Amino acid sequence: MKTIDRSKLIKAIPKTDLHVHLDGSLRVGTLITLAKAQKLPLPSETETGLRELVFKDRYANLEEYLRGFAYTCAVLRDPEALEQVAYELAWDNFNEGVRYMEPRFAPQLNATDQMDLVGVLAAVNRGLHKAKSEINRQKEIADGTEPPFDYAIIGCAMRKFSAGFSPYFSQFLASHRYRDPTQVYPLASLELVESLVAARDVEGIPITGFDLAGEERGWPANVHREAYAFAQYHFLKKTVHAGEAYGPPSIFQAITECHANRIGHGTHLFASELVDLPSPETRQQYTDALAEYISSRRITIEVCLTSNQQTIPTITDLKEHPVGEMIARRMSISICTDNRLVSNTTVCNEIEKFLQAFPVSNLELKNIIIYGFKRSFSSMPYPQKRAYVHRIIEYYEKVERQFKEKAAHDSASN
């Protein structure tokens, strides 16, 4: 029997991207155009030049990986630019078969004297909503043949920052100049989450999640517990960048003190050597208990393969990535891009890489893809979300059958 064209199948099945940074996912051409219009310098004014100098396939370290954000964030301090980039991101996702996405970003990197945090969120939502409206007017979706496209927004706080990060952070540090900076960072997180709730409740923006990103080692998530408590009290769902650059204790803090519903990356989840306990046996017991808790509670890990390879030098072969152990332990995972531009990737590319390194069964792949929809922070009422997930499953199975029938037909014809 002729085999199924896997690349085409991956593109056709409905997918999610639960961990994608807006400011790391611009189109290169759009970045160049916006920089020219705003008279902001770039290392190169050509796509080839930027990919050679800034947005590479491989990076020497995390510092080099993050360098590109200085340019992308700089052009996103304008409401029209934010709207355009959000609009394009939604279409880029839909064009590769993504039916649900949760773009995240740090509004404090975008805010200016002319555009406050709620204004930033509103501009992004305008772009996403415009794309969603256009996408869902397509015949196949409008007539119910295919499931619609949807999104929700995650607001992202920073573990630490400096005045050079953005005008907002510069002013924030200046207004708290008599405080120790370690006391100022959590105050900024609290101010952000308060704005997220206000934008959701007053402006009706579909903000459903709160995140914490930035340098992990030495900057524990539990310092931001007050912001996460505010999110918890106001029914925002929580995710934390944890275990990306540090080990199990960082993930433990995320789920116990920040009430995380999902974990961003979790790459060092099984690194028991990073646990501060006296013996290898007790360190391993702690790590196993943590992994079992995450697995049994269905706390989803947002896995970003390409990004992890680019920022964690020890992962020289993707087969060494801990997602293999996550699968073996039947954990809930979702394959994500992290940054489409900075990591030079797509959702389809991430799934292809995953399948090349970890040849899971068709059923296992289907379950992983569906986890993305089930564990999403969707703003839909729960009964509506359940119905949406059922439609996604039915459509996934329909696409799968069509590809199998075509392969059988092609074989018979030959």
pLDDT, tens digit (0-9, with 9 covering 90-100), for 91-114: 999 999 999 999 999 999 999 999
Predicted model pTM: 0.96
Q: For each successive 10 residues of the chain (414 residues), what is the average pLDDT?
A: 78 98 98 97 95 90 87 97 98 98 98 97 98 97 96 97 95 94 94 98 97 89 96 98 90 96 96 91 96 96 96 89 96 97 97 95 95 98 98 97 82 71
| 3-state secondary structure (DSSP) of residue 294 | helix
Could you count the other beta carbons within 10 Å of the beta carbon of residue 321? 20
The reported pLDDT for the residue numbered 156 is 98
In 3D space, the residue among 264, 270, 197, 265 whose CA is nearest the CA of residue 234 turns out to be: 197
The reported pLDDT for the residue numbered 406 is 81
Token pair of 218, please?
A: 């030495």
Q: How far apart are CA 129 and CA 125, in angstroms?
A: 6
The reported pLDDT for the residue numbered 325 is 96
| Distances in whole angstroms, Cα of residue 24 to Cα of each of 21, 27, 199, 319 | 5, 9, 23, 25
| Nearest-5° Cα angle at 66, 90 to 266 | 75
pLDDT, tens digit (0-9, with 9 covering 90-100), for 349-407: 999 999 999 989 999 999 999 999 999 999 999 999 999 999 999 999 999 999 988 87
B/e letters for 301-315, b = 16+ CB within 10 Å, e = fewer, are bbbbbbbbbbbbeeb
The reported pLDDT for the residue numbered 182 is 86
| Nearest-5° Cα angle at 207, 354 to 73 | 70
Write down all domains in the chain, each with its CATH number in brackets.
6-413 (3.20.20.140)
The reported pLDDT for the residue numbered 57 is 86
The reported pLDDT for the residue numbered 66 is 87
The reported pLDDT for the residue numbered 2 is 57
The reported pLDDT for the residue numbered 39 is 97
